[in-house]
Structure 1
């Protein structure tokens, strides 16, 4: 299959900016730019969007528009944003968090986990643990049903979502993994075949920032695709992009999960590239993906 025309246009636009693997790349400048760009995005109304301190981890709690001013009987979604572990925060992913809440009818807790290079692994998954514990204890008082929570992440956030489900077997009713970034050893052929939205050099740079020079790349908290505990996962939806360098590891992850006995659905979005999921103004498939997630949760949770 060939690139979708919308993916071709996005790739041309994204090629204008600096790459993280360029010498002298400025992380702080790129973070500022991402927040400026996010500030210009349209934001859907929700019933409530409230910043909360989850025992030291900054989070934002969203109740969907249909919830009105009262409580919602919908389940809670713990959302872990992408950004190669290095980028992304509550502001850059505010618009997507609102869409997730409104499309699924769920309460969404978006977690601002610590990021490298300031805070390397395992700071991020440890922060997710803390935020999850806070939600389970305090969610009901905030109008959230925490009886059957869901964990959802995209890219690096899907790595963290998978690790959270593996660290807390039996806690989540479902997991949604959008083009998960799960193999720090980059063993799959699609890194050499595809460059859609994420180059192999860029992926290697992200892993270097996150893992640092002394991490064990086979640690399942770092490389959940290698976990011996995949069979403990809840029913899961894996979404992949056909022209993403991560597509082969995503397909293999889904295969391993099924082999371990986990009810696993896999959708590979034809013609799509890494990054399509939270760009509905650029990709029709972004809304298709959210609709699939909403349907999966209705059927599963």
Structure 2
């Protein structure tokens, strides 16, 4: 059953345009981006000891460094690959820094349709190389490095961990967006306006430069040959999300390959809950769980 807060959020979010609407085009993409940035600017911003934009190997990133930071967290934001940026996720980046006690490097990766796959994972690679080579000089504690992403960012976080075995001491994947084939039954069972199956399909179509890309494991990481090299991984799932089936399948495969994985399903929740503590009590619960998980590795 949907939580009452989820029902209220769906009513609020469904008032805007949907990328699955006929005729949704470049002008609509630009308008949704503009509106999301304006809305994010009205969110409460928790103070963090140091906040600054950096050029990380040619990739714009934003640093949020709390006092006494004892590690660094690479944060890859959601938005279906198409939407989202460091500005829309600034409030969440601040919360992550304050809850985890780690410096947060939020990566402003390039987005489709202007920059399709593999621009985004390549930008993550460039930011990681900068962090390895210049992070300490930038005042970042790089001995303890973790990665976290929500939705499309969860895809990118998983791909980064698979591309760079041994680079991270932990990974947190918040309802990661994984399967362009939409094979899970949850695409029929949990189809709602928080994220519909049709919207998910549109995002994949924007992200892939060619049909062959949809079968590439760096775009569709459920196609990875093995998950054995992953660090300890927390998978956070929303019960009423079209992605719940593929997220649980990912956790099953990590465990089958001998990996350490914790899976938490948030009852009554929908896609998008994690970033909106003003709408969902469970958002702070999920942040607290992620912080506890990162402290324990």
TM-score range normalised by the length of the shorter chain: over 0.9
How big is the alpha-carbon RMSD for the aligned residues of Structure 1 and Structure 2?
A: 0.9
Structure 1 position 15 matched with structure 2 position 14: yes
Cα drift, residue 110 of structure 1:
0.1
Deviations 1:143-176 (A, max 9, x none): 2111120010000000000000000001110000
In structure 2, runs of 5+ residues without a counterpart are none
Partner in structure 2 of residue 132 of structure 1: 128
Partner in structure 2 of residue 54 of structure 1: 56
Q: 2: distance between equivalents of 1:264 and 1:97?
A: 24
Moved over 4 A (4+): none
Which shows bigger deviation, 202-211 or 20-29? 20-29
Q: 1: distance between equivalents of 2:59 and 2:210?
A: 26
Q: 2: distance between equivalents of 1:166 and 1:40?
A: 36
Partner in structure 1 of residue 292 of structure 2: 295
Which shows bigger deviation, 111-120 or 207-216? 207-216
Partner in structure 2 of residue 106 of structure 1: 102
Deviations 1:22-73 (A, max 9, x none): 1232100110000110111110000011000011100001112xx1xxxx45
TM alignment of 1:214-225, pairs within 5 A: 214-225=211-222
TM alignment of 1:1-301, pairs within 5 A: 2-25=1-24, 26-64=28-66, 67=67, 72-196=68-192, 197-300=194-297
2:213 aligned counterpart, secondary structure:
coil
1:19 aligned counterpart, secondary structure:
coil
Cα drift, residue 214 of structure 1:
2.9
2:64 aligned counterpart, secondary structure:
strand
Q: 1: distance between equivalents of 2:126 and 2:213?
A: 23
Cα drift, residue 212 of structure 1:
3.0
In structure 1, runs of 5+ residues without a counterpart are none
Q: 2: distance between equivalents of 1:124 and 1:49?
A: 23
Q: 1: distance between equivalents of 2:60 and 2:69?
A: 24
TM-score, with structure 1 as normaliser: 0.96
